[in-house]
Structure 1
């Protein structure tokens, strides 16, 4: 999980390991979360699937930044 502060909000990018078949390569679902203080502001659903956990986390952070830019 990656965390940063953006325009006064706390944002997280999540990488959720997906294992549909044990013999297949690992894949990660991306999601994002936005909080301010202790209050949940918004959480995404699954944003997409990625081969690397870092890519999934970055997609979650990108989504959170875009949400803030359009709603705050």
Structure 2
């Protein structure tokens, strides 16, 4: 999980490992994003559903952060 401050919000990018058989397919990661306000344990503002399937944990987290920043830009 990665987080950052953005325009007064805390935005989060999440990577959820997807099932794999360990032999035939490498791990894949589902991306999601979350927006909170008010510091650690702050109020949940919005959460995405699954944003897509990515080959790396970092790419999934970055997609979640990008979604969260775009949501803030559109709603603030």
TM-score by length of 2: 0.90
| Moved beyond 2 Å, runs of 4+ | 20-23
- For residues 29 and 39 of structure 1, what CA distance do their matches in structure 2 show? 24
User: 5 Å matches for 1:46-65?
Assistant: 46-65=50-69
Count the aligned residue pairs: 72
Structure 2: runs of 5+ lacking an equivalent = none
Question: What SS does structure 2 have at the residue aligned with 1:25?
Answer: coil
| Contact 2:20/2:27, CA 8 A, preserved across alignment | no
| Pairwise CA distance, 1:58 | 0.2
Measure the CA separation in 1 of the matches of 2:32 and 2:8.
20
Q: Determine which structure has the larger strand proportion and give its number.
A: 1
